[in-house]
Every structure is written in structure tokens, then in C-alpha cells.
Homo-oligomer: A and B are copies of this chain.
């Protein structure tokens, strides 16, 4: 059994390829937004005022990583962070006007590049792959692989 054929190795390469496609498309479209930064903005667009821990759960990162992501979004002026008066440990995060605008512009680009990530697969294969991938992720969260 060669390491190159192991599931973990193939998944890692898939991930690298995916971020490459994302980066090249987004750079070509003039956006300075990483995949995780976009995911955080997507979560905030759907539910404004989430705290960082809830964002972390939504984008599947831990609290420390999410803190850094929000830091960078705040530095770019795309989100605002305010201490929650009801629970002074938590910070309420919202998109700024600029953040909302940028997200709306980026959304069609990000949605459009998804097909290019799996460009080598036919439409049928793509939907098969996505179904299996989602099932694998879902099953792991229900099971014991991702214990937070």
C-alpha cells in the first residue's frame, strides 16, 4: 500500500487543488479574501450578530483560528466586533456596509468557481462525489472523529 493512494493523501491534494482554484479565480476577479474569510462572511451574512464561538462552529474551525480570521476581516474593515452586554465574554460580530457590499460581489464568483474545482469530473460524477463527501463529513461529526 503506497502512501500516495491512501485516503488522507488524496484528500490533502484535493484540498490544495481546491484552494488553488479558489485563489486564482478570486485574484483574477480582484478579491483579497481567503476561503475561510469568505465562509465567515457567509455565516455573518445569513445570521448577523453571531459571536465568535458560534462562527467557529459554523465554519468548522476552532475558537483560536476563528479569532484570527475575524481579526483580519476587522483590519480590512469588513466586519465590526462589539462586546455583548448580555454576556460580556462574547463579542457580537456583524458585517460592515463595506463587508456586505464585498460579500454580495464575491458570492457569484465563489459560487461559479465550485465547478472548476471538480473540473475533471462529469456533472454526474460531481454530484456523486459531493454526496459521498458530505456523507463522510456528516458521519464523522456524528461519530467520534471530530470531538470538540
Within 8 A of B (CB), among A126-148: 126, 128-130, 132-140, 142-143, 145-146
A63 at the interface (CB under 8 A from B): no
- Chain A facing B: main interface SS: helix
Separation of A116 and B31 alpha carbons in the complex (Å): 37
Separation of A78 and B62 alpha carbons in the complex (Å): 31
Q: How many monomers of this protein are in the complex?
A: 2
Please state if B14 and A15 are interface contacts (CB–CB under 8 Å).
yes
A: contact size bracket: 35 or more
Q: Shortest CB–CB separation between residue A122 and chain B, in angstroms?
A: 10
Contacts of A142 in B (CB 8 A): 120
A64 at the interface (CB under 8 A from B): no
Please state if B120 and A135 are interface contacts (CB–CB under 8 Å).
yes
Whether A135 contacts B125 in the complex (CB less than 8 A), given A10-B130, A21-B145, comes out as yes
Q: List 17 A-B contacts (CB under 8 A).
A: A1-B111, A3-B110, A5-B130, A6-B111, A7-B126, A7-B133, A10-B130, A10-B137, A13-B137, A14-B133, A15-B15, A16-B60, A119-B140, A121-B132, A121-B135, A125-B135, A128-B128
